[in-house]
Amino acid sequence: MLRLKATNIGKRFGSRILFRKMSFELSGGNPIAITGPNGSGKSTLIKILAGVLRPSRGSVCLRINGQLIDREHRPFHVGLVAPYLNLYEAFSPYENLRFIARTRGLQDAENRIARILAKVSILDRKDDFISTFSSGMKQRVRIAAALFCEPEILLLDEPTSNLDEEGKTLVAEVIEEAAESEKIIIIATNNEKEAAQCETQIRIQDYY
């Protein structure tokens, strides 16, 4: 059983307040959309939920099967897709995923790498330097990296950015499969079609 609970969280940078007193509780299987104008704080909220950024106030609590996961360990349960995430561009997709496998101590890494690269349709480019990839191909690598460790939570920040129609279909399939697996799925987007996949929406502008 998954529970991600935000209690009265707020974030400010200096005198600029992005949002305040934001509270919600999420469980697995129901994708949630975070919407709002550009610069409103969607990406900031995603980073807070991932555990890589602290809120200015309030708290975020993740429980898995009743066990509280502290903030330092929350990123190990999260798969994050975002166009601003850096990749090791001097490495190939294979080397990027192999690095993740080693740091996480994953078993059966070779089969897992082949399976996930085939899923995002870049298995035939697995040994090419990522620096030679287009922006859309790099986004596919980010999706592969997010799914690789089979995380309980998927945080998708503008996940179809730079993707062609085939790539957008891939993202829709990833969301559907994650929902069927009862994962927590949160999508930060200004795309109405992406937001429409979610029964619930969190509007950043409601918490100014």
Residue 108 and residue 149: Cα distance in Å, rounded? Answer: 12
Give the predicted TM-score (pTM) of the model: 0.94
Quick one: pLDDT at residue 60? 97
Which strands form 67-69's sheet, in the order they lie side by side? Answer: 16-27, 2-13, 57-64, 67-69
- Element (DSSP H or E) covering residue 27: strand 16-27
Residue 38 sits in a domain whose CATH number is 3.40.50.300
Quick one: pLDDT at residue 107? 81
Helix/strand/coil (H, E, C) string of 31-98?
A: CEEEECCCCCCHHHHHHHHHCCCCCCEEEEEEEECCEEECCCCHHHHEEEECCCCCCCCCCCHHHHHH
What are 31-89's pLDDT values in tens digits?
A: 999 999 888 999 999 999 999 999 999 999 999 999 999 989 999 999 999 999 999 99
In the chain, the amino acid numbered 189 is: T
Q: Is pLDDT above 80 for 197?
A: no
Q: How many domains does the chain have?
A: 1
Quick one: pLDDT at residue 10? 97
Which residues, listed in sequence order, are joined to residue 37 by a DSSP beta bridge? Answer: none
Quick one: pLDDT at residue 145? 96
What are 120-176's pLDDT values in tens digits?
A: 999 999 999 999 999 999 999 999 999 999 999 999 999 998 999 999 999 999 999
Provide the pLDDT confidence category of residue 192 given band limits of 50, 70 and 90: confident
Domain containing 174: what range? 2-207
Provide the pLDDT confidence category of residue 12 given band limits of 50, 70 and 90: very high
- Element (DSSP H or E) covering residue 146: helix 135-148
17: left (phi over 0), alpha (psi -120 to 50) or beta: beta
Helix/strand/coil (H, E, C) string of 152-197?
A: CEEEEECCCCCCCHHHHHHHHHHHHHHHHCCCEEEEECCCHHHHHC
